[in-house]
């Protein structure tokens, strides 16, 4: 009898063992952010209104019409006068950047932010198992990842990934790479380093579609420490819930809407075409369509589905000649039922406005993105983390809150993800010295006040800047 009971219990015990093992494996695949460090360049790299005027004067290729275009663009950009630029521009050498200039720009960020992050987390360089570096517009041999490995003496068996060409959405591409790697490697720490190189890409010509990038892009960067170690869970700031990537590179219009190229005179730069808003909207809608069922509660999905069905039935009845009284408005998804905070890429004022309109967001919800654009500009792939840091500095994020990140990038790509806040957040960070002055009474920058006289001129032959 005892033998039979033992025999019958074996399948049950084995089933319990498999369930426990699956639960253990599932927990081991979780991806947490332990901490992150946004880079704040030194004050001598600030692009003030006065200096921006001197910078424009140095460009002898600009005529009156280009200057009027530039003035309109910068006035409406949402950018203030405390953003940062590369030293090659501050020193007046943007026409002839050297390889050393490009490397120095990256070194200043790497050696500052990565060191601060590791020290604050109490993690020694040999404890890093995975390194992912993304800088889109500068490739070096040995790689930029190798530069970090050499500086911090990382392990010989470290798993290294050096990404380029991914544009402003690159940091979520890096996060996705880490998430998938951590599914294979248990108890691993990953260092993600994201930035952009402006030194070799500052445009010095007169092509309007390429001048625009000089008005928007600024220096910045962020280093993040991620892990799947269960014993570090209590120290984690965020837990990754889901991530969706949308890539429309197969469409010619989307592929060419923002692209690194040369103008007719052979001057390198980055072109933003008129088809960009259309490409961004298309990618955004498709990305939302995929991530929405992952982040919203069932009750909201059922409500939206029921209202959509009712509206279609009503339209069909009206089309068939049946009298239907009263118009039924188009139903709207309420993202606040599954999202507490919206972390939006600071691609420009139009990008922030567009997302706000599509998701029916309030000015309070758009404030972090607007303030980040005003204070730091568009720092490319790292901009999301400055927005997140603003929320943290304002003590908005509490344990259990959910943060939706939305980014856009060349390709054309739209990437988004959802983070769960693991602890109450509210420490000082890159915003520490100025957070009390935000939001300011006005976001109007002083460019129109100082250079508005340009618009009073019409005769290009007599105009002199």
Give the residue numbers annotated as catalytic, written as ranges.
Answer: 168, 247, 341, 345, 374, 378
Assess contact for 430 and 221: CB atoms under 8 A. no
Q: Work out whether strand 402-409 and strand 221-227 pair parallel, antiparallel, or are unpaired.
A: unpaired
d(CA 344, CA 367): 10
Assess contact for 243 and 417: CB atoms under 8 A. yes
Stated as kind and residue range, the H or E segment containing 226 is strand 221-227
- SS3 category, 57: helix
Concatenate the DSSP letters of all residues of 356-406 into one string. HHHHT--HHHHHHHHHHHHHH-B-GGGHHHHHHHHHHHTT---TT-EEEEE
- Residue 360's nearest CA partner among 320, 304, 435 is 304
User: 155 forms bridges with which residues in the sheet?
Assistant: none
Phi, psi of 49 (to 5 degrees): -60, -45
d(CA 85, CA 44): 9
d(CA 369, CA 405): 11
User: 242 forms bridges with which residues in the sheet?
Assistant: 418
Stated as kind and residue range, the H or E segment containing 108 is helix 99-109
Assess contact for 149 and 160: CB atoms under 8 A. yes
Q: How far is CA 57 from CA 53, 105, 185, 463, in A?
A: 6, 24, 54, 13
Sheet containing 159-163: which strands, arranged edge to edge? 159-163, 130-135, 189-195, 221-227, 32-38, 238-247, 413-421, 402-409, 341-344
């Amino acid at each position: 009898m005892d033998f039979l009971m033992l025999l019958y219990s074996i399948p049950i015990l084995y089933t319990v063992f498999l369930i426990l093992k699956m639960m253990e494996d599932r927990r081991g695949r979780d991806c947490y952010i332990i901490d992150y460090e946004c880079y704040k360049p030194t004050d001598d790299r600030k692009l003030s209104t006065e200096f921006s005027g001197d910078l424009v004067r140095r460009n002898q290729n600009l005529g009156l019409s280009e200057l009027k275009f530039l003035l309109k663009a910068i006035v409406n950009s949402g950018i203030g006068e405390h953003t940062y630029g590369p030293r090659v521009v501050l020193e007046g050498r943007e026409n002839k950047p050297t390889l050393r200039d490009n490397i120095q720009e990256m070194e200043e960020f790497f050696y500052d932010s990565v060191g601060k992050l590791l020290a604050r987390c109490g993690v020694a360089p040999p404890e890093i198992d995975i390194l992912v570096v993304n800088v889109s517009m500068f490739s070096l041999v040995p790689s930029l990842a190798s530069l970090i490995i050499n500086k911090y003496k990382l392990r010989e068996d470290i798993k290294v990934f050096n990404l380029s060409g991914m544009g402003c959405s690159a940091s979520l591409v890096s996060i996705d790479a880490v998430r998938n790697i951590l599914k294979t490697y248990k108890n691993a720490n990953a260092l993600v380093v994201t930035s952009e190189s402006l030194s070799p890409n500052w445009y010095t010509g007169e092509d309007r579609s390429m001048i625009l990038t000089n008005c928007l892009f600024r220096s910045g960067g962020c280093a993040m420490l991620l892990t799947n170690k269960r014993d570090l869970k209590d120290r984690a700031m965020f837990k990754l819930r889901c991530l969706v990537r949308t890539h429309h590179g197969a469409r010619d219009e989307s592929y060419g809407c923002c692209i690194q190229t040369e103008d007719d005179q052979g001057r390198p730069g980055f072109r933003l075409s008129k088809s960009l808003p259309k490409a961004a909207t298309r990618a955004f809608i498709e990305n939302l369509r995929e991530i929405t069922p992952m982040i919203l509660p069932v009750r909201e999905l059922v409500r939206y589905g029921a209202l959509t069905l009712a509206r279609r039935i009503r339209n069909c009845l009206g089309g068939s000649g049946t009298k239907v009284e009263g118009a039924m408005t188009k139903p709207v998804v309420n993202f606040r039922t599954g999202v507490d905070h919206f972390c939006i890429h600071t691609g420009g004022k139009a990008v922030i406005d567009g997302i706000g309109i599509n998701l029916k967001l309030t000015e309070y919800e758009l404030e972090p993105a607007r303030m980040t654009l005003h204070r730091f500009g568009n720092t490319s792939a790292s901009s999301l983390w400055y927005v997140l840091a603003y929320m943290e500095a304002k003590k908005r994020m509490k344990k259990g809150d959910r943060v939706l990140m939305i980014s856009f990038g060349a390709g054309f790509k739209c990437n988004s993800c959802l983070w769960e806040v693991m602890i109450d957040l509210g420490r000082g960070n890159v915003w520490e010295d100025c957070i009390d002055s935000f939001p300011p009474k006005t976001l109007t920058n002083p460019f129109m006040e100082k250079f508005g006289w340009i618009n009073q001129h019409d005769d290009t032959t007599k105009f002199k800047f």
